[in-house]
Structure formats: structure tokens, C-alpha cells
């Protein structure tokens, strides 16, 4: 079940919210927990026990670490077991075939791979694993109090708005609201607005502009001109952004309607003027997680320069590998590591001198990164890059193919450019945007248009479900 489906919008959501608003507060977390388990089970029934085991083991580990507070060895064993089992699930399902296939390729072995039909990646495991691990690590560090209520802990892990693709919500973010929260009409109204904006980002922008990237893939990278290759990558860049930021916005809106304040996950990353700034604005909760639970424990920047280099290398290697069990994701992470090291060394101060050139620099490098990210087959990735950087392909007969596609997609591309800036936010915050009637008409129009597209389109899951 996905947010951008008629089943979710017109069946699951109304029923769950009706029950949630009617029951007394002491039962609200129970309703949330059960509804979230149903939401997850609908999409991944055979992997449902894995989530329950992860919840149960980490809940018990927290209680035991509190019980053995004065016994460091016992606490360490409890933490280690919970950490190993929880991370083990992620490693097994996401990376086993990657390691087996690379062993076979390197050593000429013939180790059998796990059948993809049975052992595919469980939905959301990359996200909820990080949430659970953060809780267990923080309990072990004595940074947070142990959650004694199993229902509240289960609701924290399995909250359906952010369960599948984030934002990554840490226990301290919502611990107070799990115990006591108020739900006002103003909150619900704000949440509905955020949800509709996120839905429109996914349906009207991401899915529409993504069709251009799909057409370029169908043509084959060897058969497109240089301009069309860049146009396709630009389309993918917008598709990925509006798909993922749209999901995050919908999750934040649903959370607001339920009385929770989830952290911001995107802050107009494409207006950045450096790679450093870009990663302060893109997938903010993931960057924060790696900084808190990998970079700082390794020593951060309070170490020798060589060790600092290794710390950053580890973070970006893991960031790339977290996104997928393919070499292109590792190369993507290391690509950003190299760029960030260059900026930290000397380039960042120079970029600050020119707003226009620094922005062009950022967009150019980010588009290259999304090309690496988008194509898992390295031979096909090589074809794509040969087209993107080939003067011969630029001037070949048929190089005007991009004009044909630009004619069809110019409108949506311009709209994506505008929507990736704070223009609409500033408009919403203006006197005109605060007019209640205009706001209602605008949001209603977006919702109707989104639903119309959903009725007329095929199944289109969020892209980050794959990661």
C-alpha cells in the first residue's frame, strides 16, 4: 500500500483516522501500532515477522540494559546481541547476493545466490533499522530513558507515515508526543495541506517528468544525442527529488494530523551553491544519522588530518552502500566524498565569491551524481557517460532528437525548476497565500488533479522503496 494510491486515500486513511480521533488518548498509540502493522503487512506479509522480531529484541534489550545499569559487561552483551540481530537482518536481505556474486566473479567460485523471488529486500527495512539502532545505541550511551511501554515503542518504530521511506525519526524526536500530545484543528489543517502538496509533488511532478527519463532509457543510451542524454538526466534529477521529497512531505503532513512533529528532510537542495551546502539540504535525517552514529564516534574532525580523511571516507562509503547493493551506489558515495574533500581543502571559499558560477557548478556535479545513481549496470553507465561527454554524439545526425522531447516536456521542466525553489513557499506565506478561500481552492484543485492522474495511471511506487 502506497500513499499515492486510491486504496490508501479513500479506504485506509479515512478508517484509521476516524478510529484514531474517536478513541481516548490512552488507546491512540494502540490504534497507531495496529494500523501501522496492518499497513506494512498489506505490502510485505511474509516479512512482517522480521519487523516484530526487531521490535521485540530491541525493546527487551533496552529493559535489560536498564536492569544491568551497574554491570557494564552484561549491558554490552545485551546491546551487542540486539545490534547484531537488527543489523543482521538488513545485511542478509540487502547485501548477501552482492557479496556472493562478487566472490564468484573475483575467485571463479559458483556459490548459489539467494532467489530474488523469495529473498528480495523487505520494504522499509533500511529506514526502520536505522531508527531502531539509533534507539538502542542511545539507550546504551545513556543518552535517553528506556521505553517501558511495548505499544509505545512499537508505535515509534512502525508509525506508518514514515515507516517505508522516512524521514528517519529518532526516539527523542517524538518521545514526548508518544506520552502526551494534543491534536488541534489547526494542526490537522496544516497536516492536510502538507500531505496534498507532497502528493502533488509525487503525482503531478515526479511521475510526469520521470516519463522523459523512461523514454530515454527505452531508446537506449547508445541511440541518443548528447543534449538528449543531459535532458534525460535532468528529468531524472527532478523525478528523484520530487518523488522522495514528496513522500517526506506527505509523511510529515500525516504525522502532523496524528499529533507528531517529524523532522524536516529536504530544504530546497537544488538552490545550493556547493556540494557541502547540498548535503545540508538533501535527505537531512540520513545525513544527521551518519554524523551522529558514524562520523562523531569515529572522531569526527577532532583528529589528525589523515584520520579525518578516513572518517569521511567511511561515512560516504557507507552512505553510498546504504542506498543499494550495487557498485554504482558505492561509486556515487565516493564521488561525493572526493568533491567534499576538495571543497574542504580549498574550493569552498572560492565558491562563495560567485553565486551564479557556484550554482552552475553545483547543478552540473549533482546531475553527474544522479547519472551514477540511476544506472546500476556499469556498462550501460559507461554508455550514458560516453553520450553525455561526446562531441561526436552532439553533432551526429539525429542530434536534434532532444528538440522533439523538449517540445513535449518543456512545460513540466519549467514547473519543476520553479517548484524546486522556495517560490511557492514564499507565495503561500504571503498575504495572498494566507487567504483561506484561495488556499482551500488551490489545495482542492491539486488534490483533484492528483486523484485524476492516479485514476488514469498505472501503479507507481515511490522510488526510495527500492533503497
- The one catalytic residue in 120, 283, 308, 323 is 323
Nearest-angstrom CA–CA distance, 336 and 325: 18
Q: Minimal CA–CA distance to 282: which of 252, 318, 320, 244?
A: 244
Q: Minimal CA–CA distance to 83: which of 54, 111, 110?
A: 54
323 part of the active site: yes
What are the backbone angles phi and psi of residue 376, rounded to the nearest 5°? -80, -30
Nearest-angstrom CA–CA distance, 295 and 301: 9
Nearest-angstrom CA–CA distance, 335 and 329: 10
- Is there a contact between 432 and 438 (Cβ–Cβ < 8 Å)? yes
- Is there a contact between 301 and 294 (Cβ–Cβ < 8 Å)? no
- Is there a contact between 248 and 198 (Cβ–Cβ < 8 Å)? yes
> Would you give the DSSP letter of residue 115?
P
Nearest-angstrom CA–CA distance, 321 and 79: 24
- Is there a contact between 2 and 461 (Cβ–Cβ < 8 Å)? yes
Cell of 459: 501503479
Q: What angle do CA 274, 276, 281 make, to 5 degrees?
A: 95
Cell of 350: 572560492
- Kindly list the catalytic residues: 323
Amino acid at each position: 500500500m502506497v500513499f499515492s494510491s486510491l486504496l490508501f486515500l479513500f479506504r485506509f486513511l479515512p478508517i484509521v483516522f476516524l478510529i484514531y480521533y474517536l478513541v481516548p488518548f490512552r488507546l491512540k498509540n494502540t490504534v497507531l501500532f495496529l494500523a501501522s502493522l496492518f499497513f506494512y503487512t498489506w505490502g510485505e506479509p511474509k516479512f512482517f515477522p522480521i519487523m516484530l522480531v526487531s521490535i521485540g529484541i530491541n525493546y527487551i534489550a533496552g529493559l535489560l540494559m536498564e536492569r544491568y545499569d551497574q554491570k557494564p559487561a552484561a549491558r554490552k552483551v545485551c546491546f551487542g546481541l540486539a545490534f547484531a540481530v537488527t543489523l543482521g537482518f538488513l545485511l542478509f536481505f540487502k547485501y548477501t547476493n552482492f557479496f556472493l556474486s562478487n566472490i564468484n566473479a573475483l575467485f571463479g567460485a559458483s556459490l548459489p545466490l539467494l532467489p530474488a523471488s523469495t529473498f528480495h529486500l523487505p520494504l522499509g527495512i533500511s529506514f526502520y533499522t536505522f531508527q531502531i539502532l539509533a534507539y538502542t545505541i542511545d539507550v546504551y550511551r545513556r543518552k535517553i530513558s528506556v521505553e517501558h511501554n511495548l505499544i509505545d515503542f512499537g508505535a515509534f518504530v512502525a508509525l506508518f507515515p514514515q515507516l517505508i521511506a522516512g524521514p528517519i525519526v529518532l526516539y527523542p524526536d517524538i518521545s514526548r508526543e508518544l506520552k502526551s500530545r494534543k491534536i488541534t484543528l489547526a494542526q490537522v489543517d496544516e497536516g492536510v495541506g502538507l500531505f496534498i502538496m507532497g502528493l502533488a509533488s509525487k503525482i503531478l511532478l515526479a511521475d510526469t517528468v520521470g516519463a522523459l527519463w523512461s523514454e530515454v532509457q527505452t531508446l537506449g543510451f547508445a541511440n541518443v544525442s548528447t543534449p538528449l542524454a543531459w535532458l534525460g538526466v535532468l528529468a531524472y534529477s527532478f523525478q528523484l527529488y520530487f518523488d522522495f521529497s514528496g513522500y517526506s512531505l506527505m509523511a510529515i503532513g500525516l504525522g502532523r494530523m496524528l499529533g507528531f512533529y517529524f523532522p524536516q528532510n529536504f530544504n530546497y537542495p537544488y538552490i545550493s551553491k556547493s556540494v557541502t551546502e547540498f548535503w545540508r539540504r538533501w535527505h537531512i535525517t540520513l545525513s544527521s544519522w551518519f554524523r551522529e552514529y558514524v562520523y562523531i564516534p569515529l572522531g569526527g574532525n577532532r583528529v589528525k588530518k589523515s584520520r579525518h580523511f578516513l572518517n569521511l571516507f567511511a561515512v560516504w562509503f557507507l552512505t553510498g552502500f546504504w542506498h543499494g547493493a550495487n557498485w554504482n551506489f558505492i561509486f556515487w558515495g565516493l564521488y561525493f566524498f572526493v568533491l567534499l574533500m576538495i571543497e574542504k581543502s580549498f574550493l569552498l571559499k572560492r565558491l562563495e565569491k560567485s553565486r551564479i558560477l557556484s550554482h552552475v557548478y553545483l547543478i552540473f556535479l549533482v546531475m553527474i551524481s544522479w547519472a551514477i545513481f540511476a544506472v546500476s549496470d556499469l556498462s550501460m553507465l559507461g554508455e550514458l557517460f560516453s553520450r553525455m561527454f561526446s562531441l561526436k554524439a552532439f553533432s551526429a545526425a539525429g542530434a536534434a532528437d532532444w528538440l522533439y522531447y523538449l517540445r513535449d516536456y518543456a512545460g513540466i521542466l519549467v514547473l519543476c525548476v520553479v517548484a524546486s525553489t522556495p517560490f511557492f513557499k514564499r507565495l503561500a506565506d504571503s498575504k495572498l497565500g494566507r487567504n483561506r478561500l484561495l488556499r482551500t481552492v488551490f489545495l482542492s484543485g491539486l488534490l483533484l488533479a492528483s486523484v485524476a492522474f492516479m485514476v488514469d495511471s498505472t501503479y507507481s511506487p515511490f522510488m526510495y522503496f527500492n533503497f
